[in-house]
Amino acid sequence: MRAVNHDNKVALLAWAKATGITLVQINGQRRYGGPPPGWVGSPPCAGSEVFIGRLPQDMYEHELIPLFQSVGTLYEFRLMMTFSGLNRGFAYARYSSRHGASQAIAALHNREVRRGCAILVCRSTEKCQLSLDGLAPALRHPQLEASLRGLTQGLLDVALYPSPYQQRCQLALLRYSSHHAAAMAKKTLVEGNWRLVGTEEKVKVDWLKSDLKQKLLLCEQSPAARQEQEAKCPAVSRSLVPSDALAQLNTLCQRRRLGTPVFFTKRVQATPSGWLRFWCQAAIPGCPLSFSGFVRVWQDRPGTSGHEQAKAAVALHLLQTLGESSLGVGASPPAPPGLWEWEGRRLM
């Protein structure tokens, strides 16, 4: 194993003291910025980070940061480190914009930083999504999200699917605010001793791979494929939504003098195959029961907005919760608006 270059280490410490730059080392990497001093506003957009490879192992930030700052404004610089104090031969530099990253690639790729040592500079893939496979079929979205937010930082959203690989299990897709946040989350989840209630086996944690993405896309685009997957994981429910569920709920509320139910629906996603995803909230003025969560409905007629279907699905659930639905098990509801399913429903 190569030894740490003492002169370079002394030069690094002297440079940090002279410039006032703070370097923070945690979890096998040393970081500058993220954000840097004086930064105002949100973090840079995707595509603003470059990957730097083929670095001499005794080359440190006092040489690298000025070099990469010379072509654009740095938001963050991360040098991967070994326990012995050498770098691991690669780093990441995030600029204030995509233009800065492009400038770095154009100016510094194949730049000779030591005699006979040309570095590699290319656009970072910035993977931000993880998959968790082997989750219990009874696990619900709010429980999983609350657990993950307590363990990791930068989580943007969580989606649950029937696992295409393990029968009677669920698979979750996690999206993080940055590659760094996702990498730290992966490290925490892989190395940590965490286990969700009802999950007997250790959950498999990995970067989201393209083949898995295709499998899940196929399930979304094909109702038959989704039915086949859901047979393996009965925790994901689906049903026909009766079109008169809203009318039934209004009638019930009038009879009990509870006031008119109030609904809020916002469409957040639409797939080419016809699945529509809504964020829904509902409240009954004279009743403590309320609803908030995601609902996905199947658009059976092109051009329909799906909002009424989403409201009908929420209304049906409120009716069933109140124990007042007049629908029999074998009923044939008129003009059902399509298929639906819950994602992380929450009744309060």
Residue 100 has pLDDT above 90, yes or no: yes
311-334 average pLDDT score: 59
Q: Which residues pair with 297 in a beta bridge?
A: 276, 340
* Phi, psi angles (nearest 5°) of residue 159: -130, 135
106-110 average pLDDT score: 95
- pLDDT averaged over every residue in the chain: 78
Residue 41 Cα distances to 32, 44, 45, angstroms = 18, 9, 11
154-177 average pLDDT score: 86
- Return d(Cα 181, Cα 69) in angstroms, integer: 23
10-21 average pLDDT score: 91
The pLDDT, as a whole number, for residue 161 is 84
217-236 average pLDDT score: 48
284-310 average pLDDT score: 72
The pLDDT, as a whole number, for residue 244 is 74
**Cα dihedral across residues 130, 136, 141, 142: positive or negative:** negative
The pLDDT, as a whole number, for residue 76 is 94
Residue 228 has pLDDT above 70, yes or no: no
Q: Which residues of 278-302 are buried (b: 16+ CB within 10 A; e: fewer)?
A: bbbebbbeeeeeebbbbbbbbbeee
The pLDDT, as a whole number, for residue 36 is 92
- For residue 122, give the nearest of 109, 139, 133 by alpha carbon: 109
The pLDDT, as a whole number, for residue 340 is 45
257-262 average pLDDT score: 85
> Among 84-93, 245-254, 296-305, which range has the highest average pLDDT?
84-93
The pLDDT, as a whole number, for residue 34 is 87
The pLDDT, as a whole number, for residue 73 is 94
The pLDDT, as a whole number, for residue 170 is 86
The pLDDT, as a whole number, for residue 65 is 96
pLDDT grade for 2, boundaries at 50, 70 and 90: low
Residue 236 has pLDDT above 60, yes or no: no
Residue 267 has pLDDT above 50, yes or no: yes
Query: What is the pTM (predicted TM-score) of this model?
Result: 0.50
β-pairing, 339-347 vs 290-298, is antiparallel
The pLDDT, as a whole number, for residue 117 is 93
140-150 average pLDDT score: 88
Q: Which CATH superfamily is domain 129-232 in?
A: RRM (RNA recognition motif) domain (3.30.70.330)
In the chain, what percentage of residues exceed pLDDT 90? 26
Sorted by where each begins, the domain ranges of the chain are 6-123, 129-232, 239-347
The pLDDT, as a whole number, for residue 219 is 60
Give CATH for domain 239-347: 3.30.160.20
The answer to whether 21 and 66 have CB atoms below 8 angstroms apart is: no
Q: Exposed, middle or buried: residue 276 (CB in 10 Å: 0-12, 13-18, 19+)?
A: buried
CATH 3.30.70.330 fits 6-123, yes or no: yes
User: How far out from the chain centre does Cα 45 lie?
Assistant: 16
Residue 122 has pLDDT above 80, yes or no: yes
The pLDDT, as a whole number, for residue 93 is 95
Judge whether 6-123 and 129-232 match in fold.
Answer: yes
